[in-house]
Amino acid sequence: MLTEARGLGQFDDASLIHALATPPLDASTWCTLDARLLKDYDRFYGLQFIGLDRHLALIECAGERIAMQAFVPTSRTVRAWAVVCHGYYDHVGLYGPLIRDLLLRDIAVVTFDQPGHGLSTGDRANIADFQQYVDVIEVIHKFAAKSALDKPLHWFGQSMGGALVMEYWQQRKLEKPTGELVLLAPLVRPYAWPLMRWAFALAKATVKARPRNMSSNMQNQEFVRLLAADPLQAKVLPVSWVQAMVKWFNQFEAYPSSTLPLNIIQGYEDRTVSFRHNLRVLKRRYLNAAIHIIPAARHHLVNEVPAIYAEIWAWLDDLCDWYKFKS
């Protein structure tokens, strides 16, 4: 179960990050940390689950120390595994609701913080090329596939995480996923891009970053309060990250059509991604995509209000066979 309220109490992020600077870089070696540090992290973000093995490891990828976490049920038999890929500005700590509901379905979870996010090292909220994110996913996949063995391995991607899941599987043309691919408000182009592009064309000549616009595109006020208190949130939008995003979506939109089966959920009140444009692109590109529209939903679907979040799971449970290994 999640704690009732997130973002309360003290979380010493500096001490935890400092402690993560010394353990070995090895996906097969779980970190031995001061239990208090991880306990405070779990309490702050509502990750205090029971009946499971809780692990954190560090891997080296893209020149950074990547924090990978695993949540593996012990009180019940694991019937499947899932890789969870977070969105821009996000990190593992914000994905408690999704992790909880996967665990309730006897699905073990492997998740991680991308470079420049959460507990991983790297220039905050910045990247030179989206391929660096994809390279991290490849390393995570190897660990998750080894853990899953003959059980299905599902993929969940929120926003930028959805974009990266699509890009990763685009590059693995000779391999098919063994589980479901679930994209929550996937990024292709950002909201109001025709207007934004001119602002960033001017900005890149004069500044390296713009202040982050923290205005809410969320209706879950508990999540809004968590973000306001979250010490792992970046405060700027680097111009170079926008350039990397533009390079990626121009490349992505030029790809040929695919039969990769995707399960896409999108809200019509989303003011973070350009969902009308994005859905046109995804419908044209993915011939076997299943798309579910939730008119009242905004962008961060993992942290939507209870009624909308329940609708997301009702649609997924009706559509997906969580325990079938796809070959």
Range of weakest confidence among 59-63, 76-80, 114-118, 247-251: 59-63
Average pLDDT, the chain: 92
Q: What is the pLDDT of residue 209?
A: 77
Secondary structure class of 43 (helix, strand, coil): helix
Q: Give which of 266, 314, 309 is closest to 289, Cα–Cα.
A: 266
Q: State how far the alpha carbon of 95 is from the alpha carbons of 48, 85, 113, 217, 238, in Å.
A: 12, 10, 11, 17, 24
What are the structural domains of the chain? 13-318 (3.40.50.1820)
Secondary structure class of 6 (helix, strand, coil): coil
CA distance 227 to 242: 22
pLDDT digits (tens, 9 = 90+) for 131-186: 999 999 999 999 999 999 999 999 999 999 999 999 999 999 878 999 999 999 99
Q: State how far the alpha carbon of 65 is from the alpha carbons of 22, 39, 99, 130, in Å.
A: 10, 21, 23, 17
Model pTM score: 0.95
Residue with tokens 């449970």: 317
Q: What is the pLDDT of residue 3?
A: 45
pLDDT digits (tens, 9 = 90+) for 249-279: 999 999 999 999 999 999 999 999 999 999 9
Secondary structure class of 19 (helix, strand, coil): helix
User: Cα 126 vs. chain centroid, distance in angstroms?
Assistant: 15
User: Cα 13 vs. chain centroid, distance in angstroms?
Assistant: 20
Q: What is the pLDDT of residue 210?
A: 76
Q: Give which of 253, 284, 287, 255 is closest to 173, Cα–Cα.
A: 255
CA distance 104 to 98: 10
Q: What is the pLDDT of residue 1?
A: 45
Map 249-313 to HEC letters: HHHHHCCCCECCCCEEEEECCCCCECHHHHHHHHHHHECCCEEEEECCCCCCHHHCCHHHHHHHH
